[in-house]
Amino acid sequence: MMGVFKKIAFVSLVLPIFFGLSIFVTNNVKQDDIIQVIDVMPKQQVYLGGESININMDASGVIVTNTDGEIKAGDILYKINDNSVNNRFELNNIKNSIAASDIIITYLHNNELLTKTISNDELKNIEGVNNLSGNVTITYINPENLKYAAVAHSIIANVTISNNNIGTINTNHINEIVKSTDDTVGHFIATKGTKIGTINAINETGMYGTYDKHDGKLIEVGTAKKGKAYIVTTLDNNQKAYYEIEIRKVYNNQKDMQIDFVIKDQNLINKTNGILKGMSGSPIVQDNKLVGAVSHAVNGANDRGYGLLIDEMLKNTI
């Protein structure tokens, strides 16, 4: 899932308002007449993630990744005139062979099936992909609606998809860990299991959808700060485990790579030699609260990583 860039490069690997203790007092009265109203609202809680999952996104059409016309990036293209478009190869063949100046396209935009007439020049500019698969990690699940968040970075650059049921998530069985090196971010080899949910949206902060059913450990949502924290992820034995990290800095004014951390757990270093592809979305827990998700590894500095603040993902699962 993550692209690997040049050495010492970053590598990509999901709100309600919180109320604390509020005390209201009436002015201009005697002390004995002061009425204190204590309003205590529960903090937001979610099911803690950390499970490795397999994603299989097949749009039964072409997911548009680049265009400058009527159709937008993230739309799903189904037909060009009377020709079905099931993959990017069929798209390219039609683009190279069609001669008409007015072309009718059928596509899905924000769950609405549309038919539009475009020019040949517009058609030539359309590019896309038809499927996406790989391993990622669930960050959390909203217990109220079973909406989940995962990945914590863009899967397809500059593409936002908000069409329902564009793919599925499945259980994962990890068979082998391929460690990171100074030049390459590692990964794990896994076997896809049974379907457990759907993929409904992809944007710059990750992947979102709905679990078929889920229950688990509830955890309160919190705010990241410098200091000791943990990554929760699934590696060997297919069991979730906590691995100690140290948050070195929090960048609230950035869109991504907001949590700068270093791995302190030697057990994790021994197993992986750093952050692996497929660990994207692993929850970051601090003071028993969910504060973020792993998003990036760093080539050439295997003990380092970056994460996304949990606030950015929570907006997508309410």
Answer whether residue 274 is part of any domain.
no
Minimal CA–CA distance to 10: which of 166, 226, 154? 154
Is the model more confident about 46 or about 9?
Answer: 46
- Arithmetic mean of pLDDT over the chain: 85
Give the pLDDT of residue 88: 87
The Cα–Cα gap between 202 and 150 comes to: 10
Domain annotation covers residue 38: no
- Is position 107 within any domain? yes
pLDDT at residue 44 above 80?
A: yes
State the CB neighbour count (10 A cutoff) for residue 200.
20
In a domain, 112, yes or no: yes
Global confidence as pTM: 0.82
Task: Rank 21-30, 152-161, 196-205 by mean pLDDT and report only the highest.
Answer: 196-205
- 85 occurs within a structural domain: yes
Out of 12-26, 62-76, 244-258, pick the least confident. Answer: 12-26
Query: Residue 22: pLDDT above 70?
Result: no
- Torsions phi, psi of 266, nearest 5? -65, -30
pLDDT digits (tens, 9 = 90+) for 239-263: 999 999 999 999 999 988 999 999 9
More confident residue, 306 or 14: 306
Residue 9: per-residue pLDDT: 47
Question: Between 236 and 107, whose confidence is greater?
Answer: 107
Say how far apart CA 222 and CA 292 lie, in whole Å.
9
Question: How many domains is the chain built from?
Answer: 1
For the segment 51-79, the average pLDDT, to the nearest whole number, is 87
Q: What is the pLDDT of residue 188?
A: 93
Residue 127 has pLDDT above 50, yes or no: yes
- Segment (H or E) for 122: helix 120-124
Region 140-145: mean pLDDT is: 96
Task: Note the pLDDT of residue 191.
Answer: 94
Structural domain contains residue 115: yes
pLDDT, residue 42, reads 56
- Written as six digits, the tokens of 154 are 């863009």
Q: How does pLDDT run across 163-221, given as a tens digit for each residue?
A: 776 889 999 999 999 999 988 999 999 999 999 999 999 999 999 999 998 888 899 99
CA Rg value for the chain: 23
Whether 93 is covered by a domain: the verdict is yes
Domain range for 65 is 60-128
Q: What is the mean pLDDT of residues 53-62?
A: 86
What letter would DSSP give residue 32? G
- CATH number where 96 lies: 2.30.42.60
Q: Are strands 218-221 and 289-298 parallel, antiparallel or unpaired?
A: parallel
Is residue 20 scored above 60 in pLDDT?
Answer: no
254 within a domain of the structure (yes/no): no
Lowest mean pLDDT, pick from 39-53, 247-261, 295-309:
39-53
